[in-house]
Amino acid sequence: MLETATILFFSFGYMGFLFAIAYFGDKHAEMGRSIVGNPYIYALSMAVYCTAWTFYGSVGRAVRDGPGFLTIYIGPTLMAALGWLVLRKIIRISKIHHITSIADFIGSRYGKSTILGGVVTVIAVLGIVPYIALQLKAISTSYLVIKEYPEIVMPRNFAKVPVFQDTAFYVSVLLAVFSILFGTRHLETTERHEGMVAAIAFECVVKLIAFISIGTFITYSLYDGFGDLFEKARAVPEFRRLLIMEDRTGAYIDWGIYIFLSMTAIIFLPRQFHVAVVENINEDHLNKAIWLFPLYLLAINIFVLPVALGGLLEFPRGTVDADTFVLTLPMALHQEGLALLAYIGGTSAATGMVIVETVALSTMICNELVMPVLLRLPFPRVSQWGDMSGVLLGIRRSGIALLLLLGYTYFRFIGEYYPLVSTGLVSFAAVAQFAPAILGGIFWKRSTRLGALWGMVAGFLVWAYTLFLPSLVQTGLLSSGFVTEGPWGIALLRPFQLFGLEGFNNVAHAVFWSMFVNVGGYIGVSLFTQPSPMEHTQAALFVDVFKSPEEFTWRRTASVPDLKSLLERFLGEQRTRELLSHYADSRRLDWEKSLTADDDLISYAEKLLSGAIGSASARVMVASVVKEESLGIEEVMNILDETRQVIIYSKELERTTSELKAANERLKELDRLKDEFISTVTHELRTPLTSVRSIAEILQDTEDLDPDQHRQFLGIIIKESERLTRLINQVLDFQKMESGRMEWQIQEVDLHEVVSDAVSRTEQLVRDKGAAVRIHQPEAPMPKIPGDVDRLIQVMLNLISNAVKFCDEDRGRIDITLSHGIEKVRVDVEDNGIGISPEQQERIFDKFHQIRNVNKARPSGSGLGLSITRRIVEHHGGTIRVKSEPGTGSTFSFELPIQKASDAE
């Protein structure tokens, strides 16, 4: 029944069905009714992770290594739990920035770097092509195996099958057609392909059903359930090792490294990035995918060991390749339907992987390799070309065809020497090189473009040396001495035991060393290089994607028609109109009317373009129409400068305000002092006036006053009048000094003369009080000083009368001491009066401050005397102070400079 025609009918029928599903999905998407917009399809599409390598290869690996095959599925299970932390962030970033591939993601993160995007693309292509070849090999092998039914013959030497009789060739062509049709139907800014996703999800269901059907049949029909199967397997001593961990140093380390490797693969394989990030419709779908996807992995692994053990028990040792057990077991049991199901399941696993991988890789090749080169070619000026969307699609379609051609070529010439299992791991190790740059990129702002570049390149070189080059040995391109003795016989450089590191599996060994240099280079170089402004911006946008929904704005302008025609060239006229009117609607703008595009519109256009041609190229294209890309350091400095100016102004404003406040306070104080002044002066004037008036009244009323008393009364009137005059003079002087209208007559002054003059003028006053004045002066003549004689005499008069005032009656002694230094002359006026308390000393020179004498009810003097004295001394550039102890007397000292520091104002 299983004839070649039947097999081919089902093969191509299946492919036709896929086409139908994809077509159906695309049609629905166009009508706006998405059939893939739910978490179940999303989780299923992630299962494109399970390739032919899973379908056939897991059994092969279980036969060789025992439980080790499980690590490839445990890693993704663990990573799914981290998905909410890592994957959701990547999805959010990619949505905001219209990122369409893993190369675009890394390039965009590190300052929209073209070089980085290119390097990632090259690594991805070199790393993944063998993986694609592996899928083609699986399809080819399974066909060759099932074709021989009912015989079970292991195919040898694919290379001898002519290309045009090789199913793998026709399958490759069909896959290329499918990928081109549903992966590059039209240029989308989001790079989403709903039809393709629908087909992939369907394939994932098919392969799961196929594998579980076969597993169930073997476990429950061939054997009596799990227990029976395991008992029988344990009866064979050599199979027991498959049920436990390998007994080898480093086995557990290998195990851990494999889990790590598959954790990186589940996100960073281009096809996984594509289905999980680019094709993601709604972030919330992650909620279900976090546990549904691991559930799928669990389900597809349950029967791996039973099938492996069944195959081992069923076939004589070494006759059948364990990689084909899934297919050959049903054949051996003559279950034709099951065998066909296995064949279709394996094919679906392989085709699903190839389709998504080629679409993802071709986008990268187009956006990160071809476009940047085309845009930079000096000639012909590609950037001047008209409609580019056709060119872009052409590049992508060629990319898909090229990738399949490369894959097929690899499979024909190299692939047959390799078992399924190692090729997949080698590819995993290649894409693991993206992990530091991406994980670091979304959590560590300080990382730089050079760090990412050096890390990746170094890691990739180590990968090539420890995994890729040795694979060439098996094909005969390199001599086997390279692996066994090391290049040029240097044992330390043996690629599988680099620097003498032994005990590891080849892949684990390569992962260790490549990650060592990758992470080391990434961190080390990042710490020793400075990120550019563009890198700073992108780093902040990526790392803080959840923190600030608003974006940085550059100050750019462009003309709307220019921008529009740019978009039209890449996206087509109709799509551009739709997108722009959508933009205008969402912001309530009438953009048709405005001719200048603001930064917001430019950013929007750049993101749309990013979706079509990658962020690095989009930046170049947008820069070509933007008037001035404001990334120049000058512009940034200007912005900074403006900000600085504003800060300075505001500081100045603050200072002026506080000055005004202080001035206001001072004015209030002055106002208060003026009131005080007036009330004091009035009071001072009233007292002598009252006494003059009352005495005058006595004189008027009493006619028979004896002449002595008469004279005495008149004496009081004169004295009080003098006091009034003095007071008025003081007030006037003070007023003049306060307002600066005092006229100073500066001339050479002999201070000794001043003192003598003042003493003689106060002779009467001193004598009345029964006190004595003594003058002490140095023997050498005093140096003359510049000053106003009359005012200085006034100073002395004030000090002497002050001293007299507080002297005890009849015991008063006033010592005036003159002295001088090189710069200053000094006068001390010492008395033995009642003294001044410390708190009074501080305020004694203030205006209107009067020392309250406890013995007298009324203070004597206006309270202006010492204040005037201080002003005169200060006007001469000197200082005055008082030293006193209550009860023993006071010393008033003033110093005047011999050379006046500055002229009187």
Partner 1 sequence: MTADSQKTARLVALFLLGWLLFNFPMLSLFSLNRLVFGIPSLYLYIFGVWVFIILSAALVTRITEQKASDHR
- CA–CA gap between residue 22 and residue 15 (Å, rounded): 11
Residue 297 Cβ vs partner 1, minimum distance, rounded to whole Å: 8
Closer to partner 1 at the Cβ: 89 or 847?
89
Closer to partner 1 at the Cβ: 295 or 698?
295
Q: Which stretch binds partner 1 (CB under 8 A): 72-80, 274-282, 417-425, 524-532?
A: 72-80
- CA–CA gap between residue 557 and residue 630 (Å, rounded): 9
Closer to partner 1 at the Cβ: 29 or 305?
305
> Does residue number 685 form part of the binding site for partner 1 (CB under 8 A)?
no
Out of 287, 532, 624, 891, the residue judged to bind partner 1 by CB under 8 A: 287
Residue 41 Cβ vs partner 1, minimum distance, rounded to whole Å: 17
Out of 23, 38, 82, 393, the residue judged to bind partner 1 by CB under 8 A: 82
Residue 252 Cβ vs partner 1, minimum distance, rounded to whole Å: 4
Binding to partner 1 by CB under 8 A, coded x per residue (else -) over 806-845, reads ----------------------------------------
Closer to partner 1 at the Cβ: 68 or 345?
68
- CA–CA gap between residue 652 and residue 608 (Å, rounded): 46
Q: Which stretch binds partner 1 (CB under 8 A): 254-262, 349-357, 507-515, 524-532?
A: 254-262
Closer to partner 1 at the Cβ: 93 or 896?
93
> Does residue number 290 form part of the binding site for partner 1 (CB under 8 A)?
yes
* Nearest alpha carbon to residue 840 among 806, 796, 790: 806
Centroid of chain to Cα 792: 72
Residue 37 Cβ vs partner 1, minimum distance, rounded to whole Å: 17
Relative orientation angle of helices 336-364 and 194-217, to the nearest 10 degrees: 150
Closer to partner 1 at the Cβ: 548 or 747?
548
CA atoms within 13 A on the CB side of 741: 6
Residue 212 Cβ vs partner 1, minimum distance, rounded to whole Å: 15
Out of 29, 80, 566, 605, the residue judged to bind partner 1 by CB under 8 A: 80
Q: Which stretch binds partner 1 (CB under 8 A): 67-75, 571-579, 610-618, 681-689?
A: 67-75
Residue 259 Cβ vs partner 1, minimum distance, rounded to whole Å: 6
Closer to partner 1 at the Cβ: 39 or 524?
39
**In the numeric block, which tokens belong to residue 560?**
């709307």
Residue 515 Cβ vs partner 1, minimum distance, rounded to whole Å: 17
CB atoms within 10 A of CB 604: 20
Residue 255 Cβ vs partner 1, minimum distance, rounded to whole Å: 7
Closer to partner 1 at the Cβ: 305 or 737?
305
> Does residue number 295 form part of the binding site for partner 1 (CB under 8 A)?
yes
Please report, as residue ranges, which positions from 635 to 654 form the binding site for partner 1 (by CB under 8 A): none
> Can you give the length of the chain in residues?
905
**Cross-strand partners of 554:** none
Question: Burial letters for 24-59: b for 16+ Cβ neighbours within 10 Å, e otherwise?
Answer: ebbebbeeeebbbeebebbbbbbbbbbbbbbbbbbb
Residue 728 vs residues 273, 687, 734, 791: alpha-carbon distances, Å: 99, 13, 10, 16
Phi–psi pair at 889, nearest 5 degrees = 120, 175
Spell out the residues 6+ positions from residue 227 whose beta carbon is closer than 8 angstroms to its own. Answer: none
Residue 83 Cβ vs partner 1, minimum distance, rounded to whole Å: 8
> Does residue number 259 form part of the binding site for partner 1 (CB under 8 A)?
yes
* Nearest alpha carbon to residue 510 among 431, 411, 407, 450: 431
Residue 418 Cβ vs partner 1, minimum distance, rounded to whole Å: 28
- CA–CA gap between residue 521 and residue 517 (Å, rounded): 6
Whether 508 contacts 255, CB under 8 Å? no
Closer to partner 1 at the Cβ: 272 or 328?
272
> Does residue number 294 form part of the binding site for partner 1 (CB under 8 A)?
yes
Binding to partner 1 by CB under 8 A, coded x per residue (else -) over 214-253, reads -----------xxxx-xx--x-----x--xxx------xx
**In the numeric block, which tokens belong to residue 281?**
């419709």
Please report, as residue ranges, which positions from 689 to 718 form the binding site for partner 1 (by CB under 8 A): none
Q: Which stretch binds partner 1 (CB under 8 A): 12-20, 288-296, 572-580, 863-871?
A: 288-296
- CA–CA gap between residue 897 and residue 821 (Å, rounded): 9
Please report, as residue ranges, which positions from 84 to 103 form the binding site for partner 1 (by CB under 8 A): 84-85
Cis peptide before 150, with omega less than 30 degrees from 0? yes
> Does residue number 67 form part of the binding site for partner 1 (CB under 8 A)?
yes
Residue 545 Cβ vs partner 1, minimum distance, rounded to whole Å: 13
Whether 537 contacts 458, CB under 8 Å? no
Out of 209, 302, 584, 904, the residue judged to bind partner 1 by CB under 8 A: 302
Whether 345 contacts 205, CB under 8 Å? no
Q: How does DSSP assign 280-301, residue by residue? A: ---TTHHHHHHHHHHHHHHHHH
> Does residue number 255 form part of the binding site for partner 1 (CB under 8 A)?
yes
> Does residue number 77 form part of the binding site for partner 1 (CB under 8 A)?
yes
> Does residue number 256 form part of the binding site for partner 1 (CB under 8 A)?
yes
Mapping DSSP to helix (H, G, I), strand (E, B) and coil, where does residue 829 land?
Answer: strand
Beta strands in 505-608 (DSSP E): 558-559, 596-597
Closer to partner 1 at the Cβ: 288 or 849?
288
Spell out the residues 6+ positions from residue 312 whose beta carbon is closer than 8 angstroms to its own. Answer: 63, 233, 236, 239, 322
* Nearest alpha carbon to residue 123 among 372, 367, 427, 422: 427
Residue 67 Cβ vs partner 1, minimum distance, rounded to whole Å: 6
Whether 558 contacts 627, CB under 8 Å? yes
For 296, counting Cβ atoms within 10 Å of its Cβ (0-12 exposed, 13-18 middle, 19+ buried), the class is buried
Residue 81 Cβ vs partner 1, minimum distance, rounded to whole Å: 4
Residue 421 Cβ vs partner 1, minimum distance, rounded to whole Å: 19
Residue 225 Cβ vs partner 1, minimum distance, rounded to whole Å: 7
Residue 240 Cβ vs partner 1, minimum distance, rounded to whole Å: 6
Residue 501 Cβ vs partner 1, minimum distance, rounded to whole Å: 19
Kindly state the number of chain residues that form the binding site for partner 1, as judged by CB under 8 A. 38
Out of 70, 308, 431, 432, the residue judged to bind partner 1 by CB under 8 A: 70
Whether 99 contacts 316, CB under 8 Å? no
Alpha-helical regions (H) of 777-882: 789-805, 838-843, 865-875
Residue 426 Cβ vs partner 1, minimum distance, rounded to whole Å: 23
Closer to partner 1 at the Cβ: 39 or 783?
39
> Does residue number 13 form part of the binding site for partner 1 (CB under 8 A)?
no
Q: What is the DSSP letter of 837?
A: -
Q: Which stretch binds partner 1 (CB under 8 A): 198-206, 295-303, 353-361, 893-901?
A: 295-303
Whether 570 contacts 622, CB under 8 Å? no
Closer to partner 1 at the Cβ: 219 or 884?
219
| Maximum alpha-carbon separation in the chain | 170
- CA–CA gap between residue 282 and residue 874 (Å, rounded): 83
Q: What is the DSSP letter of 853?
A: P
> Does residue number 291 form part of the binding site for partner 1 (CB under 8 A)?
yes
**In the numeric block, which tokens belong to residue 14?**
């299946």
Q: Which stretch binds partner 1 (CB under 8 A): 45-53, 287-295, 697-705, 871-879?
A: 287-295
Out of 20, 298, 653, 772, the residue judged to bind partner 1 by CB under 8 A: 298
Residue carrying the six token digits 């364990």? 322
Mapping DSSP to helix (H, G, I), strand (E, B) and coil, where does residue 191 land?
Answer: coil
* Positive/negative CA dihedral, 871, 872, 877, 880: negative
Binding site for partner 1 (CB under 8 A): 67, 70, 74, 77-85, 225-228, 230-231, 234, 240, 243-245, 252-253, 255-256, 259, 284, 287-288, 290-291, 294-295, 298, 302, 305
